[in-house]
Amino acid sequence: MLQSPITATPKLYIGLDIHKKSWSVHFRTDLFDHRGFNMPPEPEQLLVYVTNHFSGYEVNITYESGCCGFSAARFFEQQGWHVTIVNAADIPRSNKLHFQKSDRIDCRHLCHQLEAGQLRAIYIPSEYQDHLRSLVRHRNSIVKQLRQVKLQIKGMLLYQGVTIPVEYDNANWSKLFLQWLQELPWAYHPAAYSMQSKVRILLMLHTEYLQSANELRSYCRQHHKKDYYLLKSIPGIGGYLASALLAELGDIRRFDNEKQFSSYIGMVPAMRSSGGTESTLGITPRSKNLIRSYLVEAAWVAIRRDPEMQAYYRKHFGKNIKNVIVKVAHKMVKRILSVIKNETPYQVNHQQQSTLKLT
């Protein structure tokens, strides 16, 4: 009796719950559930298991994005597997799963959702982009440390009843102010050492802050020269922001339209519509937080330097300033995509500039 030939490639679905010290794994084929187990966090071991037990299967694997990054995803992609990395907030869950949660249940649920085609994948950056944006995030962490040390210095002065001179009491910490802090007389040595140590930490962090920014700009000028100068042609975008955009967003050309690009950065409103009633809940909380904050800051510079942005801002005069500046930042996002996709530097509207001078 002749056997019927196999007309469809057998499929394997793998759900992973990834942690630092262990992985929970669940397997399911297109016909039935297979076993699940815990294993060390080593993708090579999972590859060996699949090769030994599911040779010839089309492999689909998924896990939630998190602190372990994308190195495992890139490894599986190199093996020819179909990899789906998902945002934890995008995974469909029943109410029951909020009260019964474990690694075993989570990976099994992911596996079933993957087979059903209910998971929406997020972008997997290349190893190169991951390494490049690590410098942007390192600099941002330095900024937070600088802010913390400054608060500690001001807190100590306030606690000890020391009044900062009027000429130094502002957001700009000049060299003279730092010198004043170092030479501040204290009745006892421990307090003097404590203050001097804080100032030394501040100076060290400030040096790293400047060097990391210079390193990022220099690298992008060398390796992404064309896109770097295209972005810099937009008023409000300087060397560091251009570099940060390239590092955090990767290949901007992969976005098909402005709506998709704005949504990725988080420059779209959060909305709720029900029963004919529609309400706007402000800007969406889902965003590339660092890039969005940079662009909002850059929008203030754009208003000063670009007559068209200045006219747009004046048109909304009297409205909530925070809302208006987000609208300006949204227009900048559109310009970013336009100059990159068209590979044409932005040209300031000089006709608009002349009109503003006349008015």
Alpha helices of 185-287 — where are they, by DSSP H?
A: 189-223, 225-232, 239-249, 258-265
- pLDDT beyond 70 at 357: no
The answer, as to whether pTM is greater than 0.75, is yes
Q: Give me the pLDDT at residue 4, please.
A: 41
Mean pLDDT of 24-32: 92
Q: Which of 106-115, 124-133, 159-168, 268-277 has the lowest mean pLDDT?
A: 268-277
Mean pLDDT of 169-185: 92
Tokens 């085609």 -> residue: 117
- pLDDT beyond 60 at 1: no
Q: Within 10 A of 218 (CB to CB), how many other CB atoms are there?
A: 12
The residue among 5 and 148 whose pLDDT is bigger is 148
The two three-digit tokens of residue 99, written as one number: 């009260």
For residue range 252-291, list pLDDT tens digits in order.
999 999 999 999 999 988 767 666 666 666 788 888 999 9
The residue among 284 and 292 whose pLDDT is bigger is 292
Q: Give me the pLDDT at residue 316, please.
A: 87
- Asked if residue 173 lies in contact with residue 150, where contact means CB atoms within 8 angstroms, the answer is yes
- Asked if residue 19 lies in contact with residue 41, where contact means CB atoms within 8 angstroms, the answer is yes
Quick one: pLDDT band at residue 61, thresholds 50, 70, 90? very high
CA distance 41 to 103: 14
CA distance 185 to 29: 74
Q: Give me the pLDDT at residue 3, please.
A: 45
